Amino acid sequence: MDKGSIIKEISRLKKEKNAVILAHYYVEPEVQDIADYIGDSLGLSQMAGQTDADIIIFCGVSFMAETASIISPDKRVFVPDISAGCSLADSIKADDIINWRERNPGGIVVSYVNSTAEVKANTDICCTSANAMQVILSIPENKKIFFVPDKNLASYVKIMSGRDIDIWEGDCCVHEYFDTKVLQEVIKLHPDAEILVHPESSSSHDPAIYELENAYILSTTGMVKRAKISDAKKFIVATEPGVIYQMQRLAPDKEFIAVEPYNKCYQMRKVTLEKVLASLREERYEIKVPEEIQVKALPSIERMLRILGA
């Protein structure tokens, strides 16, 4: 089947089955093109809660589809590639949190949404890179906090908030690469560019970055918005380069430079048009969080969405 026929068939099946396609900014551009909604982890969570569709095809990695299943347990959630996982999410287990709670009674556990359903079921409040600071600031100042699993985002919010935070030593293999030295090499080549850094990057908590007046620490949606509203004509983008596709669409007259175009999330990139079609047609691979975990995990996501007024 050629690409045009695949796209037509996806569109036909979507209507027939009352399905919606959600895609993260890091999936392949041709998959972003067929999505009903493209967003970051926060936007996708909100969308999963708002949609009237019976079926959600989640073009992303497994923790994202699990989050959708937790928020909308009455909907059927599918992923096009069942093997698309996230090493950051898999770096921590529920037992690691239970052990911390035993040592820190009364402490608050904040989990980045890039975590498994079992971890969320043992979490007080979730956050994404778009709202981590608001979530931390919502916690009473006398409370000790355990932030899991991303050490870079945790270190960033620790510096920004000045709060007492224990940090789990997980990282994202894509963003860990973006340290200050790597960024400075690209800045030397493009001194006139604005610098956009995802908080999962190792440079996000290096004070040297805060000294640059044209550097911004932003979630992926934050970067897309910045591309549109900024007066700059050139941007250095320190995150997975898939997001540049949407930035370029929104601001076609501006230039976007990936710090490293080949530093991709190869888990997200496993999703192809062919797999989306097979997922819709054959209703595979279904992600269903078991009820006892879903019920325990839901409040941690609802608390996060309430903070944003969602």
Binding site for ligand 13P (CB under 6 A): 40-41, 114, 128-130, 172, 200, 219-220
Q: Which does 267 bind (CB under 5 to 8 A by kind): ligand 13P, ligand SF4, none?
A: ligand SF4
Q: Which residue has the tokens 């796209």?
A: 7
Residue 88 as a binder of ligand SF4 (CB under 6 A): the answer is yes
According to the binding rule CB under 6 A, does residue 135 interact with ligand SF4? no
Q: Which does 202 bind (CB under 5 to 8 A by kind): ligand SF4, ligand 13P, none?
A: none
What is the distance of C-alpha 308 from the center of its chain?
A: 16
Out of 61, 119, 121, 145, point to the residue binding ligand SF4 (CB under 6 A).
Answer: 61
> Which residue from 296, 191, 299, 180 is spatially nearest to 236, judged by alpha carbons?
191
CB 246 within 8 A of CB 32: yes
Q: Are 161 and 192 in contact (CB under 8 A)?
A: no
Q: State which of residues 10, 56, 224, 265 lies at the interface with ligand SF4 (CB under 6 A).
A: 265
Give CA–CA dist 131/310, Å, rounded: 12
Distance between CA 303 and CA 298 in Å, rounded?
9
The residues in 4-43 that bind ligand SF4, with binding defined as CB under 6 A, are: 26
Instruction: Give residue 122's Cα distance to chain centre.
Output: 20
For residue 258, state whether it binds ligand SF4 (rule: CB under 6 A): no
Q: How many CA atoms lie within 13 A of 186 on its CB side?
A: 22
Minimum CB distance to ligand SF4 smaller for 65 or for 145 = 65
> Quick check: 236 binds ligand SF4 (CB under 6 A)?
no
Provide the minimum distance between the beta carbon of 56 and ligand 13P in the complex, in angstroms, as a whole number.
17
Given the complex with ligand SF4, which of 153 and 276 has the nearer CB atom?
153
Q: Which of the listed partners (ligand SF4, ligand 13P, none) does 124 bind, with a CB threshold of 5 to 8 Å by partner kind? A: none
81 binds ligand SF4 (CB under 6 A): no
Q: How far is the CB of 171 from ligand 13P (least distance, A)?
A: 11
Residue nearest to ligand 13P (CB): 40
**What x-and-dash track marks residues 155-174 binding ligand SF4 by CB under 6 A?**
-----------------xxx
Q: Is 114 in the site for ligand SF4 (CB under 6 A)?
A: yes
> What is the H or E stretch that residue 222 is in?
helix 220-229
Question: Which DSSP state fits 289?
Answer: -
The entry of ligand 13P, ligand SF4, none near residue 87 (CB within 5 to 8 angstroms by kind) is: ligand SF4
Shorter beta-carbon distance to ligand 13P: residue 34 or 172:
172
Separation between Cα atoms, residue 44 and residue 304, nearest integer Å: 13
The entry of ligand 13P, ligand SF4, none near residue 129 (CB within 5 to 8 angstroms by kind) is ligand 13P
Which amino acid, one-letter code, is at 258?
Answer: A
Smallest distance from ligand SF4 to CB 145, Å: 21
What's the CA gap between 211 and 76, in Å, rounded?
A: 47
Residues that bind ligand SF4 (CB under 6 A): 26, 61, 86-88, 114, 172-174, 240, 265, 267-268
